[in-house]
C-alpha cells in the first residue's frame, strides 16, 4: 500500500464535477436551481453551440455580498444546510455546496453579483482564481461558463453533438418552467429566443407556451389527495398523445424529479385508451411532507423515492381514472 495523500482542492473538485456535471445541461440545472433558491422572479438562460462553447444564467434574485461570492467557490459551502436534520428535510433545490467549485474546476467561470449593497465580479479559470473586482449591474446574479471540459479531454470526447446537447438543455428548462409557473424563464440559443414564459403563476399558460394552444385546450385539470399526498396539475385527454414518455412530467414539492413508479402509474391509467407506444402529456405536482421523500438517491437529485409508494400509486390510479372517466372517452387516434 502506497502513501496516502490528501487530494488537492482542485483535483477533489474535478472528481466532484464528475458526479455533478455530466454535460452542459448539468451546468444549466445547477445554476438555474441556485437562481430559484435565490428567489429570482426572472431567469434568462443564454446558450451558444449547445452549451459547448458558452452558457450564461442571469437572474434577478437576492444576489450575494463579496464574502459570500468568494466563499461559494469553496466545497461544501452552502447556505441551505445548517444542521444534520436539514439533510432529511431538504426543500431547496441545490444543497450540497459542490456545484460552483465543481463547475469552476472544469471551465472558464465568471460570477457577477449584486445584493443591492455591494457588487462583485469573480473570475476562475479551470479551478484557479484569476481576478476579483467590481461590476456595474442590477441586483441579482449572472454566471458565465465557457470552454467546459477543455481541461478534461476524457470528458470532452463524450460530449454529444451540439443539437443533442441543446436538446438536453431545452428539455430541462422546459420542465423547470412547468415546475415554476411563478417565474419567468427565457431560453436563448445562438442568439435566438427558443421560448419565454410570463411568470404569471398559471400552469396552463406555461403548457400553452411549450406545447401550443390546441394542446392546452385539451388538458384536464386534476386536484385530489389524502392525508399524505396532494396531487394537482393537468393531464391530456385521450385524443392528445405523444410517442414517448418524456411528456409525463412529475414535480415533487415544486422540484422536477424522476420517479419511474409514478410515471409508470400515470401511463398505466391510459393504457386501455391509447394505442401501443402512445403516451399522455401530463404535468402533476405532488405535495408531500419532505420527510417522506428521499432526494439523495443520485447526486444529480433528479431521482426520488417515496416511503409510501404504494399509497401514492393507489391514489394516482383512483384520481386519474376518475378525471378521465368524466370526459368523453370516445377513442380517436392522435395525429
Q: How far is 329 from 335, CA to CA, in rounded Å?
A: 17
**Per-residue pLDDT tens for 198-237?**
999 999 999 999 999 999 999 999 999 999 999 999 999 9
Q: Kindly state whether residues 279 and 192 are assigned to the same domain.
A: no
**88 within some domain:** yes
Domain's final residue, options 196, 225, 254: 196
Residues 61 and 142 in one domain: yes
Residue 329 reports pLDDT greater than 70: no
* Residue that has been written with the C-alpha cell 477543455 in this structure: 150
Same structural domain for residues 178 and 250? no
pLDDT of residue 78: 43
Q: What confidence score (pLDDT) does residue 157 get?
A: 76
Residue-level pLDDT at 299: 47
pLDDT digits 0-9 by tens, 28-40: 999 999 999 999 9
CATH number at 154 reads 3.30.565.10
Based on the structure, what is the number of domains in the chain?
Answer: 2
Tell me: do 178 and 222 sit in the same domain.
Answer: no
Q: Taking 90 as the threshold, does the pLDDT of residue 328 lie above it?
A: no
Give residue 333's pLDDT: 44
Domain-embedded: residue 335: no
Ranges 5-9, 21-25, 61-65, 133-137: which has the least confidence: 5-9
DSSP structural state of residue 275: P
- The per-residue pLDDT for 94 is 45
**297 and 259 assigned to the same domain:** yes
pLDDT tier for residue 301 given thresholds of 50, 70 and 90: low
**Does residue 1 fall inside a structural domain?**
no
Domain for residue 29, yes or no?
Answer: yes
| Position 2 in a domain | no
Indicate whether 153 and 208 sit together in one domain.
no
**211 and 177, same structural domain?**
no
Contacts of 326 (CB under 8 A, 6+ apart): 220
Whether the predicted pLDDT of 79 surpasses 50: no
Q: What's the length of the chain?
A: 335
Query: Mean pLDDT over all residues of the chain?
Result: 85
The domain that holds 307 is classified in CATH as 3.30.230.10
179 shares a domain with 81 = yes
Domain range for residue 318?
Answer: 203-325
Domain termination residue (choose one: 148, 175, 196)? 196
Residue 331 included in any domain: no
Q: What is the pLDDT of residues 176-189, one digit of tens each?
A: 999 999 999 999 99
Would 98 be classed as within a structural domain?
Answer: yes
The answer to whether position 330 is within a domain reads no
Judgement on whether residues 46 and 172 belong to the same structural domain of the protein: yes
Phi-psi region of 164 (alpha: psi -120 to 50; beta: other; left: phi over 0): alpha
Share of the chain above pLDDT 90, in %: 66
Q: How confident is the model at residue 22 (pLDDT cuts 50, 70, 90)?
A: confident
Q: What is the pLDDT of residue 20?
A: 59
Q: Are 109 and 138 within one domain? A: yes
Answer whether residue 77 shows pLDDT above 70. no
| Residues 98, 173 within the same domain | yes
Model confidence pLDDT, tens digit, residues 92-149: 444 445 789 989 999 999 999 999 999 999 999 999 999 999 999 999 999 999 999 8
Residue at a domain's end among 180, 196, 212: 196
- pTM of the shown model: 0.83
pLDDT at residue 89, rounded to an integer: 40
Q: Are residues 192 and 213 in the same domain?
A: no
- Asked if 252 and 303 count as a contact pair (C-beta separation under 8 A), the reply is no
The reported pLDDT for the residue numbered 242 is 94
Amino acid at each position: 500500500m502506497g502513501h496516502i495523500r490528501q487530494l488537492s482542492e482542485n483535483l477533489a473538485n474535478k472528481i466532484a464535477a464528475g458526479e455533478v456535471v455530466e454535460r452542459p445541461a448539468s451546468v444549466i440545472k445547477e445554476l438555474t436551481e441556485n437562481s430559484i433558491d435565490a428567489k429570482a422572479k426572472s431567469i434568462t438562460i443564454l446558450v451558444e453551440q449547445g452549451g459547448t462553447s458558452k452558457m450564461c444564467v442571469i437572474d434577478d434574485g437576492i444576489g450575494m455580498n463579496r464574502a459570500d461570492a468568494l466563499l461559494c467557490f469553496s466545497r461544501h459551502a452552502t447556505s441551505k444546510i445548517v444542521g444534520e436534520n436539514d439533510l432529511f428535510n431538504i426543500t431547496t433545490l441545490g444543497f450540497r455546496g459542490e456545484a460552483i467549485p465543481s463547475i469552476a474546476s472544469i471551465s472558464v467561470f465568471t460570477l457577477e453579483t449584486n445584493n443591492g449593497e455591494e457588487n462583485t465580479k469573480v473570475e476562475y479559470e479551470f479551478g484557479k482564481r484569476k481576478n476579483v473586482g467590481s461590476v456595474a449591474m442590477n441586483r441579482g446574479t449572472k454566471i458565465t461558463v465557457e470552454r467546459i471540459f477543455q481541461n478534461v479531454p476524457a470528458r470532452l470526447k463524450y460530449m454529444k453533438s451540439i443539437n443533442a446537447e441543446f436538446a438536453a438543455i431545452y428539455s430541462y428548462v422546459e420542465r423547470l418552467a412547468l415546475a415554476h409557473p411563478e417565474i419567468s424563464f427565457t431560453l436563448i440559443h445562438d442568439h435566438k429566443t427558443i421560448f419565454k414564459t410570463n411568470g404569471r403563476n398559471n400552469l396552463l399558460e406555461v403548457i400553452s407556451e411549450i406545447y401550443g394552444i390546441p394542446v392546452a385546450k385539451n388538458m384536464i385539470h386534476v386536484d385530489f389527495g389524502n392525508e399524505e399526498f396532494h396531487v394537482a396539475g393537468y393531464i391530456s385527454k385521450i385524443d392528445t398523445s405523444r410517442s414517448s414518455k418524456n411528456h409525463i412530467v412529475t414535480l415533487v414539492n415544486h422540484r422536477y424529479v424522476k420517479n419511474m413508479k409514478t410515471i409508470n402509474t400515470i401511463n398505466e391509467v391510459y393504457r386501455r385508451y391509447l394505442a401501443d407506444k402512445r403516451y399522455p402529456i401530463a404535468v402533476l405536482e405532488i405535495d408531500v411532507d419532505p420527510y417522506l421523500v428521499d432526494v439523495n438517491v443520485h447526486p444529480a437529485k433528479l431521482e426520488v423515492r417515496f416511503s409510501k409508494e404504494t399509497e401514492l400509486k393507489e391514489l394516482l390510479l383512483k384520481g386519474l381514472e376518475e378525471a378521465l372517466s368524466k370526459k368523453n372517452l370516445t377513442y380517436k387516434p392522435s395525429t
